[in-house]
Chain A
Amino acid sequence: MNIKPFISIIAILLISFLYCNGCYNRVDLGDSIAAVAHGLDISPDGTRVVSSGQFALPPQADDDDAPKFLVRSASGPTFSSAEQIMATSLPRDPVWSMAETFIIGENIARRDISLFLDHLARTNAVREVSLLFLAYNSTPEEVLKTETAPEDTAGRALVKMIQAQEAQIGLYSPVTIKEFLYKVSTAGVEPVLPQVKIESFEGKDRLSISGLAVFRGKQMVGSLNEQESRGYHFMQSNTRGGLFVINLPDPARPGEQSLQTLETINSTAVVKPVLNQGQLKMRITITAEGNIYEVAYPHILFDLSQLGLFEQQANAAIQSDVEACLRKAQACQSDILGWGQAIQRQQPALWENLEADWPAQFASIPYEIEIDFKLRRTYLQGRGSVEE
């Protein structure tokens, strides 16, 4: 075979690809400004949507006090038109595809989430791995304007906060746009979003992640508090990390109890719909293992019976958290735990009967919970360091 035409074809292919590499959509660095976070809300009268953007400003070499970010908001009939209006007040092109955090306003969440869902799903400037939060008792603009030392921007700070606490505390898991869209579009499961609150501390505002927003259909219908959120965390099929507190009788103070902290290494939850004489019940089995993280009375002796007591109390604590979550979810008629999906997969014929009014059905389904928590290790110390 003549090698020359072969090389020519390869060369022409490569040259052709060069013309398809983005010239037509290019944005020069000096003409652009990166959006690090994006806020989506609705005006109080519900007539216009409000789009907010937090933009990272280039660092100033000789001025440490120079602002590190810029927040702009604009309202419009749709989010795309609001962004266009916002762009008219910015001297540079906003690069929305760099936003790694999206903050949903509580107003729009309680009104109708479909107002922003299409914006998240359709436009190619939104990356599905970006994280979603809900601004609780505040607006996205207020959240974005909050200083979040040591991070430069609230968008970046929220990402780091939720990723760090997931591993360390295990209360709230990051929710990506992809996961949110999946749960919204799929029957038998409802989404949740971590809530961001603005707290006042020593005269300054700071952000904290507190609770999970619960959705049903197209609206936010309630929130999970810390205990309920921990229960939700345990109900996920596979989790790692997290701390929780148990009560144990304090041998030093008879009749009183003291708190001990346990750490979850991993936990697995299996949900099985069980039909018993035509009655549906959900059987929840949670298997977890963990370590002793901190004890309140260091003179405790770790014998097998004591460890057994730890495990017993851990089971009770986890059960309490899970029941709290279930009570709230059923009160909100929101199947955030995916029971509908479990029924659909394991009992499809039954699901066909329940699907039509599933939220109401979900609220009245009984359940039984079985927890099996096993203690594995005690970190650097076995028994306590203080002699009784």
Chain B
Amino acid sequence: MAKLTNIQLFCILFVTMAVTPYQVLAKLLAANVAQHGWVVIIGSIAPGLLLVWIYYYILVNSRRTFPGMLEEHLGTLIGKTLGFVYIWVFFLVVVMSLVIFANFFLSNVLPGMPISILLIFIILPAFYALRNGLETTARVIEIIIMTGYPLAMVLLFLGLGPETDWSRLMPIGSFAMADIAKGILLVSSYCSFMIVVLTLGPFCHQPRLLWRWMLSAYGLFVFSVLVMVVIPIVAYGPALTAVQTFPIFNIARATNIAGFIHNIEIILVSAVMPGVFAILAVFWFVTCYSIQQVFGLQDYRVMIGPTAIMAGILAVLLVPNIHFLYIMLDQIFPWIFITIFGIFPVILALVIRVKRPKGTPSGTTADKK
């Protein structure tokens, strides 16, 4: 059985949570809560910690990997039915990542490039990575995070030029609670991508110690999204951030240090592309692995080819234009993800708790291979 190191799992968890917010969260939060994005992120810490705890609780109280643990705790019929639903939602994340990246790339970088070529050249590496196995994919993602993440963050901080005005984060307090709740939902929906730990956690050396790495990944995620949301606001103000399609990219375009370092947005693209590869590879693996588990296949690799074609086609068909994409990101996807990746695991955890025999300490069933 493949083995992942805890560092690799940390990198995988972080990249699945952080890549999509890096591209879209600043605009979404500015459109919903104006300059109060940082308030939303602080408010989302509690739900995020709850999700981390829920995932860890399910992980240590299950013998099988996800979605097999659905059958383990809920029975074969309900387990397989829910597993089938989860396959499609995981696949939705794959397609969504492709769509966001394609729109980002074709809006800001190379408008003249055919979308099919772009999709082929982002799907192909992920396809090859999955064919070579989880360990290899995890190692590549580890390298990507260690090289790409500092670069991505430095580029954001370089955008703090002389026009930065921290008072653009004011005033605090003139917000509607419904907007703040929606913002917390948005941030929590990206945090819920950590659900992949239920599939990948059992592949680690010491699953019982995973809580440290899960908390660390979540902590880094909170810090990162805080930076991603605050810097566009102090650089552009909430009104301008809300109307731009990808504010982070504009930050990189507008960076000009002493008139010498400028036009560095291509470095940002170089950091984003591997990140998109990483989230694509992880959720694609989880999708194929879930198909293997639900349908009892011998190996998940047989599904990589067909799902690759489906992903490419759906990425073109899912949204007709970028405006529709943002409507889905703002109003539809968060509800889907928080329900499937958030509420269902909470219910599963409750079921595990209720079904646990009295007197049995928590976690005793998780003797991992």
Q: Which residues of A contact B (CB under 8 A)?
A: 1-2, 5-6, 8-10, 12-13, 16-17, 19-20, 22, 24-25, 121, 124, 127-129, 176, 178-179, 181-182, 185-187, 237, 341, 344-346, 348-349, 352
Interface 0/1 of B122-152, CB less than 8 Å to A: 1011001100110111011001000000000
Consensus secondary structure, chain B interface: helix
B106–chain A nearest beta-carbon distance, Å = 10
Chain A residue at minimum C-beta to C-beta distance from B250:
A128
Once the chains bind, are B110 and A20 in contact (CB under 8 Å)? Answer: yes
Residues of A within 8 A of B137 (CB): 9
Interface 0/1 of B158-181, CB less than 8 Å to A: 000001010100110110000000
Find A128's partner among B114, B128, B132, B254 (CB 8 Å cutoff).
B254
B262–chain A nearest beta-carbon distance, Å = 7
Once the chains bind, are A1 and B139 in contact (CB under 8 Å)? Answer: yes
Once the chains bind, are B170 and A345 in contact (CB under 8 Å)? Answer: yes
Residues of B within 8 A of A345 (CB): 167, 170-171
Report if B208 contacts A (CB, 8 A): no
Residues of A within 8 A of B173 (CB): 348
Interface 0/1 of B237-263, CB less than 8 Å to A: 101100100000010011010000011
Report if B211 contacts A (CB, 8 A): no
Find A5's partner among B132, B243, B262 (CB 8 Å cutoff).
B132
Find A6's partner among B107, B136, B263, B270 (CB 8 Å cutoff).
B136
Residues of A within 8 A of B235 (CB): 178
Once the chains bind, are A17 and B171 in contact (CB under 8 Å)? Answer: no
B222–chain A nearest beta-carbon distance, Å = 26
A354–chain B nearest beta-carbon distance, Å = 14
Alpha-carbon distance between A6 and B137 when the two chains are bound, in angstroms: 8
Alpha-carbon distance between A85 and B240 when the two chains are bound, in angstroms: 31
Alpha-carbon distance between A262 and B274 when the two chains are bound, in angstroms: 55
Task: A20-B105, A24-B114, A129-B256 are known; give 14 further A-B pairs, CB within 8 A.
Answer: A9-B137, A10-B143, A17-B273, A20-B113, A20-B118, A20-B121, A178-B163, A179-B163, A182-B239, A185-B237, A185-B243, A187-B239, A345-B170, A346-B171
Given contacts A20-B113, A24-B112, A124-B111, contact A181 B254 (CB under 8 A): no
Report if B84 contacts A (CB, 8 A): no
A349–chain B nearest beta-carbon distance, Å = 8
Alpha-carbon distance between A335 and B121 when the two chains are bound, in angstroms: 51
* Residue among B139, B163, B171, B274 having the largest count of chain A Cβ atoms under 10 Å: B171
**Can you name 5 A-B pairs with beta carbons within 8 Å?**
A19-B121, A25-B112, A127-B254, A178-B163, A182-B237
Residues of A within 8 A of B263 (CB): 127
Chain B contacts with A in 27-70, Cβ cutoff 8 A: none
Alpha-carbon distance between A226 and B125 when the two chains are bound, in angstroms: 61
Alpha-carbon distance between A346 and B171 when the two chains are bound, in angstroms: 7
Alpha-carbon distance between A8 and B128 when the two chains are bound, in angstroms: 9
Residues of A within 8 A of B105 (CB): 20
Once the chains bind, are A16 and B171 in contact (CB under 8 Å)? Answer: no
Instruction: Count A/B pairs, Cβ under 8 Å.
Output: 103
Once the chains bind, are A19 and B117 in contact (CB under 8 Å)? Answer: yes
A330–chain B nearest beta-carbon distance, Å = 23
Once the chains bind, are A5 and B136 in contact (CB under 8 Å)? Answer: yes
Chain B residue at minimum C-beta to C-beta distance from A179:
B163
Residues of A within 8 A of B114 (CB): 24
Report if B236 contacts A (CB, 8 A): yes
Given contacts A16-B122, A179-B163, contact A9 B136 (CB under 8 A): yes
Residues of A within 8 A of B250 (CB): 128
Find B236's partner among A20, A178, A341 (CB 8 Å cutoff).
A178
Report if B108 contacts A (CB, 8 A): yes
Interface 0/1 of B80-120, CB less than 8 Å to A: 00000000000000000000000001011111111001100
Once the chains bind, are B167 and A12 in contact (CB under 8 Å)? Answer: no
Chain A residue at minimum C-beta to C-beta distance from B133:
A5
Find A182's partner among B109, B124, B236 (CB 8 Å cutoff).
B236
Given contacts A16-B121, A24-B113, A182-B236, contact A344 B171 (CB under 8 A): yes
Chain A residue at minimum C-beta to C-beta distance from B144:
A13
A264–chain B nearest beta-carbon distance, Å = 17
Chain A residue at minimum C-beta to C-beta distance from B136:
A5
Once the chains bind, are B128 and A186 in contact (CB under 8 Å)? Answer: no
Find A186's partner among B121, B171, B239, B270 (CB 8 Å cutoff).
B239
Report if B277 contacts A (CB, 8 A): yes
Alpha-carbon distance between A189 and B135 when the two chains are bound, in angstroms: 55
Alpha-carbon distance between A6 and B140 when the two chains are bound, in angstroms: 7
Once the chains bind, are A13 and B240 in contact (CB under 8 Å)? Answer: no
Alpha-carbon distance between A383 and B143 when the two chains are bound, in angstroms: 66
* Residue among A17, A121, A179 having the largest count of chain B Cβ atoms under 10 Å: A17
Alpha-carbon distance between A345 and B253 when the two chains are bound, in angstroms: 29
Alpha-carbon distance between A346 and B250 when the two chains are bound, in angstroms: 29
